[in-house]
C-alpha cells in the first residue's frame, strides 16, 4: 500500500469513530503505529506528511513519527518545517512541539539556531512553537532533564511579545523550568519585571510560591 493510501485509511477510520475523543482515537493511532513497525523511515515520513496534507488529525502524523525510532532519527529542520507548515491553532502547535520539535531539539536533531529563527518569525504559531519546544527540555514525564540556558534563551527573545498565544506559552515554559531551577526562573522574572505580561508574572510566581498555577 502506498503511504498516501495508508494515511487516508487512518484518517477515514478516525473520522468514522462515533465519538471524537482522545482515548479511542489514540487507540486507533497505536494500532496503525504497530502496522508501521516493519516499514522504513521514509515510508513513515511520507505517511505522516500525507496526513498533514489532509489538515485533519495532524497530531496522529506527529505521533506516528515519534513512535517509529528510525523515522524520528531521520528528522531535520527541513522535514520538521514541512510537517509544521500551515499550523494555525494552539493545539496543533503544541502537539508538533511537544511530540516532535522539542524532543528533536533535546536530542540534537534540531539546532538551537533553528529554534531562534522560529522565535523571530512573523508567524505567531512558529513563535509559539519555539517556546513550547523548550517544554520538552524540562518536562520530566517526557524525559526532560532541565535546560536553563536553552529555555531562558528563547524566553529572552520573546519577553516583550504580548500576543496571547506567546504569553500563555512563555508562562508554560517558565513553569516547567521551576522544577529544575527556581532561582533561575525568579531571576528571569526580576530582570524583566517591566516587560513581561501580567499573566506570566502572576502564574509563574504562583507556582514558585504555592506549586500551583492558579491556587
pLDDT in tens, 61-77: 999 999 999 999 999 99
CATH 1.25.10.90: which residues of the chain?
88-215
Q: E strands, the chain, where?
A: none
pLDDT tens column, 162-210? 999 999 999 999 999 999 999 999 999 999 999 999 999 999 999 999 9
- The tally of CA atoms less than 13 A away on the side-chain side of residue 174 is 32
Please determine, looking at this structure, whether the domain spanning 88-215 carries the CATH number 1.25.10.90: yes
**CA 104 – CA 181 distance, rounded (Å):** 22
pLDDT bin (cut points 50, 70, 90) of residue 98 is very high
**CA 31 – CA 49 distance, rounded (Å):** 18
Q: How many CB atoms lie within 10 A of CB 209?
A: 9
Q: What is the pTM of this model?
A: 0.95
**CA 208 – CA 95 distance, rounded (Å):** 26
192 touches 199 (CB < 8 A): no
Residue 142, pLDDT above cutoff 80: no
**CA 203 – CA 215 distance, rounded (Å):** 9
pLDDT the model gives residue 136? 92
Amino acid at each position: 500500500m502506498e503511504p498516501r493510501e495508508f494515511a487516508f485509511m487512518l484518517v477515514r477510520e478516525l473520522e468514522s469513530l462515533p465519538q471524537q475523543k482522545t482515548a479511542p482515537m489514540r487507540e486507533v493511532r497505536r494500532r496503525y503505529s504497530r502496522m508501521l513497525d516493519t516499514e522504513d523511515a521514509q515510508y513513515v515520513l511520507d505517511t505522516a506528511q500525507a496526513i498533514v496534507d489532509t489538515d485533519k488529525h495532524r497530531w496522529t502524523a506527529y505521533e506516528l513519527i515519534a513512535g517509529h525510532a528510525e523515522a524520528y532519527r531521520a528528522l531535520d529542520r527541513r522535514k520538521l518545517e514541512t510537517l509544521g507548515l500551515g499550523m494555525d491553532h494552539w493545539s496543533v502547535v503544541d502537539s508538533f512541539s511537544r511530540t516532535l520539535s522539542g524532543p528533536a531539539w533535546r536530542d540534537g536533531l534540531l539546532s538551537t539556531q533553528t529554534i531562534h529563527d522560529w522565535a523571530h518569525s512573523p508567524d505567531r504559531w512558529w513563535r509559539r512553537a519555539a517556546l513550547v519546544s523548550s517544554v520538552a527540555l524540562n518536562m520530566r514525564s517526557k524525559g526532560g532533564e532541565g535546560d536553563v540556558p536553552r529555555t531562558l534563551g528563547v524566553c529572552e527573545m520573546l519577553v516583550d511579545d504580548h500576543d496571547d498565544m506567546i504569553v500563555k506559552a512563555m508562562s508554560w515554559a517558565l513553569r516547567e523550568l521551576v522544577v529544575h531551577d527556581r532561582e533561575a526562573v525568579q531571576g528571569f522574572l526580576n530582570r524583566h519585571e517591566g516587560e513581561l505580561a501580567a499573566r506570566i508574572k502572576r502564574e509563574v510566581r504562583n507556582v514558585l510560591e504555592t506549586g500551583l498555577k492558579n491556587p
